[in-house]
Amino acid sequence: MQSTKSQTSNVQIQDPPNSQMANKEPEIITDKTQMRKWSRGMRSQGKTIGFVPTMGFLHEGHIALVKEARNHADLVVVSIYVNPGQFSPSEDLSTYPSDINGDIQKLMAVPGGVDVVFHPHNLYDYGTTNPSVENVNGSGGDEERNVGVVSCLENNGLGHETWVKVERLEKGMCGKSRPVFFRGVATVVTKLFNIVDPDVALFGKKDYQQLRIIQRMVRDLDFAIKIIGSEIVRESDGLAMSSRNVHLSPEEREQALSISRSLSRARIAAEKGQINCRELKESVIKAIEEAGGRVDYAEIVDQESLVAVEEIKSPVVFCVAAWFGKVRLIDNMEIDM
Ligand code: AMP
């Protein structure tokens, strides 16, 4: 057992299974005041910061973003924070998987390593305690407050009431079945951008609507941060990597392959001239339902505006969300015409 270098961490990191693979230990920062101090210090030395926000339980999709961040900045910060503000009370916040030690070991194996893992206990003030002036200014400790609160939506929103909404882009697709999801995402990303103060931030195309929402938010609100979208990383059989895949039974996992397989077939069909979106969507929905899934949505939308199209005549993305048992998966494929 070996502890981290950081005085700000209470996370104990185990040695990686193969110490040959380890590059460097990231500094673990759990307090937002410390995180800001680190970033300001590095920026005053002229260093650029690349940032990868995650909810942890890292897989190769996340690691690809971290590797890409190394190509764009001197230093890399990865945040690991399961954001309660994007889960409605009926959603899977309490069962969202986590493995902080495993995550840190994976990050230590990335060539060049990671400089900081920002792992706050809580980024919200829910009003469950009497907020002091220090808390409001963010200079109080984050850690001892608000333990045990399940969702930001609890307590009638007392304590936290400011939300970032990207009005049109957040409405369709995932926004329909998860009405508070994107305001939670945009808000926490804003908070993280304010705390970490990066030059560049990386997001996966796996969450395509999220990527477009963050790009629009950054443009509309003048964040001086370059947003880079990274390609989807898939398992060898085509399943898009996701932290939620761990909850799939072997049977559900097999069924879930119907998403990527039917999307691939649709893309090939489109490239061969089948450009009618209704027919393409019907074929994907049929394939997923026949496999045993329940489709939440299947939409073919413009890559930039995310407006649905009837025929494929310009670059589009085919986005799907479907349930397999209790697990909701999303996936998409770009079709460039
Ligand atoms: P999450 O931990 O699910 O919030 O994801 C953190 C970041 O990793 C987001 O920008 C996701 O889009 C990205 N990501 C998740 N899965 C993948 C994947 N399979 N391929 C590429 N990026 C991904």
CA angle 271, 272, 276 (to 5 degrees): 80
pLDDT of residue 94: 86
pLDDT of residue 129: 47
Going from the Cα of 176 to the center of ligand 1, the distance in angstroms, rounded, reads: 20
Ligand 1 binding site (Cβ under 6 Å of any ligand atom): 54-55, 61-62, 64-65, 203-204, 206-207, 230, 232-233, 240-243
Q: Does residue 243 carry a pLDDT above 80?
A: yes
Residue whose Cα lies nearest atom 19 of ligand 1: it is 241
Residue whose Cα lies nearest atom 5 of ligand 1: it is 54
Mean pLDDT of 254-276: 98
Mean pLDDT of 311-329: 98
* Tokens describing residue 268: 């090939």
pLDDT single digits (tens) 144-199:
333 444 455 566 656 678 899 999 999 999 999 999 899 999 999 999 999 999 99
Q: Does residue 141 carry a pLDDT above 50?
A: no
Q: Does residue 66 carry a pLDDT above 60?
A: yes
Report the mean per-residue pLDDT for the chain. 88
207 against 16, higher pLDDT: 207
Q: What percent of the chain has pLDDT over 70?
A: 83
* Tokens describing residue 253: 């996992």
Q: What percent of the chain has pLDDT over 90?
A: 77
Min mean pLDDT across 111-125, 129-143, 230-244, 304-318 is at 129-143
pLDDT single digits (tens) 21-57:
557 899 999 999 999 999 999 999 999 999 999 999 9
pLDDT single digits (tens) 80-112:
999 988 888 788 888 999 999 999 999 999 999
pLDDT single digits (tens) 286-303:
999 999 999 999 999 999
Does the annotation mark 160 as catalytic?
Answer: no
From the alpha carbon of 242, which atom of ligand 1 is closest? 16
**Which residues lie below 8 Å from residue 318, measured CB to CB, with a gap of 6+?**
263, 266, 267, 280, 284, 298, 299, 300, 332, 333, 334, 335
Q: Does residue 230 carry a pLDDT above 60?
A: yes
The Cβ-side half-sphere exposure at 149, using a 13 Å CA radius, reads 29
Going from the Cα of 229 to the center of ligand 1, the distance in angstroms, rounded, reads: 10
pLDDT of residue 2: 33
Of the candidates 59, 62, 72, 160, the residue annotated as catalytic is 62
**Which residues lie below 8 Å from residue 255, measured CB to CB, with a gap of 6+?**
291, 292, 293, 324
Going from the Cα of 158 to the center of ligand 1, the distance in angstroms, rounded, reads: 30
Whole-prediction pTM: 0.88
